[in-house]
Amino acid sequence: MPETPTPEADRVEPLLLDVPTAVRRSGLNRSRIYEAIGSGALHSIRIGRRRMIPERSLVDWIESLIADAA
């Protein structure tokens, strides 16, 4: 008999994060996120008036910060 999916299994994480979500997910402050966007270190796009960050870009940027710190 197939397993019944749990609510966690049905949850879909967004591919694009707004800045407040990127702040919560990264643990960094809003200014640091905008500095990274401004310098080109963190890729983002504008959709209407919202600044959106691809989730993969946020992960890649954080991984580069860790690598640079090592």
pTM: 0.80
List, for residues 8-31, the tens digit of each pLDDT value.
Answer: 667 778 899 999 999 999 999 999
List, for residues 33-64, the tens digit of each pLDDT value.
Answer: 999 999 999 999 999 999 999 999 999 999 99
pLDDT of residue 9: 63
Q: What DSSP assignment string belongs to 31-61?
A: HHHHHHHHHTSS--EEETTEEEEEHHHHHHH
How many CB atoms within 10 Å of residue 43?
Answer: 14
- Which domains, ranges and CATH numbers included, belong to the chain? 14-69 (1.10.1660.10)
